[in-house]
C-alpha cells in the first residue's frame, strides 16, 4: 500500500482563463482518465473555457456554481457533480471556497441525474 498526498499544500496554482484555484493530480498522463483534486479558495474560480475531453467535477466540500455553454449558473455542493462533454464551454465559481475531484477522459457516468 502507498499513501499519497493531494492536499492544497502540494497542489499547483492555476491562473489561466482568469482562474484562481490549485490543482493536485492523482493520476498520470498515460492513464485512460486523469483524476485531479481542485482547491478553489473563497472568491476563486475556473475561468470559462472549452473542455479538452469529457469532464466530471464532483464537489467534496464547500459550495459553488457551475455553468455550461449556455452560461446559466447552477448551484453545486457535496454530493453533486457536473459533467461536460468534449468541446463544451464551462466555468466554475465559489463565494465561500470548495474542493472537488475532477475526472477527465473517456468514462461512463452511472450516477443518476438530478435534472427535473
- Cα–Cα distances (Å) from 106 to 15, 33, 55, 56, in that order, read 26, 6, 9, 11
C-beta of residue 43 within 8 angstroms of C-beta of residue 94: yes
Q: Which residues contact 115 (CB under 8 A, 6 or more apart)?
A: none
User: Model-level pTM?
Assistant: 0.82
C-beta of residue 48 within 8 angstroms of C-beta of residue 19: no
pLDDT tens track for 35-79: 999 999 999 999 999 999 999 999 999 999 999 999 999 999 998
pLDDT tens track for 11-46: 899 999 999 999 887 777 778 899 999 999 999 999
Among candidate residues 77, 72, 112, the one with its CA nearest the CA of residue 88 = 72
Amino acid at each position: 500500500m502507498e499513501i499519497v498526498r493531494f492536499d492544497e499544500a502540494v497542489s499547483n496554482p492555476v491562473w489561466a482563463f482568469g482562474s484562481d484555484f490549485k490543482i493536485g493530480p492523482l493520476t498520470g498522463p498515460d492513464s485512460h482518465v486523469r483524476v485531479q483534486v481542485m482547491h478553489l479558495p473563497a472568491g476563486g474560480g475556473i475561468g470559462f473555457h472549452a473542455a479538452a475531453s469529457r469532464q466530471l467535477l464532483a464537489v467534496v466540500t464547500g459550495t459553488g456554481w457551475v455553468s455550461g455553454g449556455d452560461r446559466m449558473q447552477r448551484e453545486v455542493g457535496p454530493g453533486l457533480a457536473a459533467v461536460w462533454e468534449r468541446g463544451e464551454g464551462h466555468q466554475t465559481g465559489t463565494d465561500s471556497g470548495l474542493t472537488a475531484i475532477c475526472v477527465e477522459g473517456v468514462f461512463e457516468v452511472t450516477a443518476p441525474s438530478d435534472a427535473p
